[in-house]
Structure 1
């Protein structure tokens, strides 16, 4: 059985965080419609430019200010985009996170 949720992008790449204007989203950011995360909102998603790559990993974040822990899914993100998302989370928003990459088996010659 395959279950899907529609991605709602409420902060397109290049837009600013509503409460932290110095934070600019390097890729699309939104949530999965019909899901519920620990904060009561939909599961957060960063979507990059590697169309068709699917889920490439996720960040487990800790926000001391809000006193919550969340999972933020990385979909279609390149390695550079993942690094830029990490810098946004760690350096700009100050909510640090643990990156967990999806293991992708590659063929060797």
Structure 2
């Protein structure tokens, strides 16, 4: 079960349609930036930004390989993950948040965690 901070990072990372498309494409097959950018119809620069965010959240990984012509290529692939998002999982994750957030309590009062 992810900590509150990990859950926030993963959900924030996946809250972008481009990054969802990247994860879906890499779930089908690992790929390198130029080909993946063509397949997704976005620039390599924009794809690199999204890949860095996905990698920072632990959702994709990269590995450098040499092509047949000796060119170094970075291949990306999905890192297997599973998140069960239930009210109970959210409640448990909230208890481990390290950043002070305001939580609405049942009686309408707000209290820092």
Higher RCO structure (Cα 8 Å, ≥6 apart): 2
Q: Judging by fraction of residues, say which structure has more strand.
A: 1
Q: Rg: which structure is higher?
A: 2
Q: Same fold (TM over 0.5)?
A: no
Question: Structure 2 length as normaliser, TM-score?
Answer: 0.29
Question: Structure 1 length as normaliser, TM-score?
Answer: 0.30
Q: Judging by fraction of residues, say which structure has more helix.
A: 2
